[in-house]
């Protein structure tokens, strides 16, 4: 960002509004801040760094990449599809999608409704929540027996006085059956700046 950065944090009705003076292009980059305990993972942040990461199957990392838009969100028929797009094993593409019931939404600013919203994946039926994994262009619906997705904070970010994006920050983990084997995804965290280009409403 430019050396001239003005930042004001206003908290109203539990929703943060961030004001920045910098270019939109800089806000679209993925910024990796290493975690203190595990430097292979990004630290948990709430600044819209367009980053996410998790430990996949104990020895592999699922991470955001500067070459891939890290998140896409679709609202359709009362459900929200929250998809993390990244890589594992250094260069193999992977998408992890959470599909769950949602309040009605008319534009991307309505994502602020996800503030402090948590889903216990083990308590929902397949009709309530579906978790999908895309690897090597193959989509698989996972049999999840334990897990959670927690949107800890939703913030509206303004650049030069205009709404620019919604920042979604949170954590996730799950344990599931994939190709006949038990696999975990642990220590998941995300910090994403969602613009109108990343959000789509299917009427």
Residue 12 pLDDT: 35
pLDDT at 66 over 60: yes
Residue 95 pLDDT: 97
- Regarding pTM above 0.85, the answer is yes
As a 3-state breakdown, the chain gives helix, strand, coil percent values, each rounded to 5, of 10, 55, 35
Residue 193 pLDDT: 97
Residue 2 pLDDT: 39
Which alpha helices (H) appear in the chain, and where do they start and end? 24-27
Residue 26 pLDDT: 76
Residue 125 pLDDT: 65
Across 107-133, average pLDDT? 88
Across 31-49, average pLDDT? 97
pLDDT at 7 over 80: no
25 pLDDT band, cuts 50/70/90, is: low
Q: What tokens does 89 get?
A: 């094993």
Across 74-80, average pLDDT? 94
Residue 178 pLDDT: 84
pLDDT at 16 over 90: no
Q: What tokens does 172 get?
A: 């996730």
Report the mean per-residue pLDDT for the chain: 87
pLDDT at 8 over 60: no
Beta pairing class for 117-120 and 143-159: antiparallel
Residue 179 pLDDT: 81
Percent of the chain with pLDDT over 70: 85
Residue 24 pLDDT: 53
């Amino acid at each position: 960002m430019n050396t001239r950065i003005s930042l004001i944090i206003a908290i109203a009705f539990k929703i943060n509004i961030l004001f920045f003076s910098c270019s939109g292009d800089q806000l679209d980059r993925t910024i990796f801040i290493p975690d203190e305990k595990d430097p292979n993972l990004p630290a948990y942040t709430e600044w819209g760094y367009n980053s996410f990461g998790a430990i996949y199957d104990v020895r592999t990392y699922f991470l955001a990449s500067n070459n891939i838009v890290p998140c896409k969100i679709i609202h359709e028929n009362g459900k929200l599809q929250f998809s993390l797009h990244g890589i594992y094993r250094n260069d193999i593409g992977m998408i992890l999608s959470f599909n769950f019931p949602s309040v009605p939404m008319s534009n991307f600013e309505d994502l602020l409704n996800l503030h402090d919203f948590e889903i216990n994946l083990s308590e929902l039926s397949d009709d309530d929540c579906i978790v999908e994994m895309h690897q090597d262009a193959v989509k698989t619906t996972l049999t999840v027996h334990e897990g959670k997705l927690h949107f800890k904070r939703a913030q509206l970010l303004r650049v030069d006085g205009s709404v620019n994006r919604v920042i979604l920050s949170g954590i996730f983990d799950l344990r599931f059956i994939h190709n006949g084997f038990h696999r975990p995804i642990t220590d998941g965290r995300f910090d994403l700046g969602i613009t109108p280009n990343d959000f789509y409403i299917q009427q």
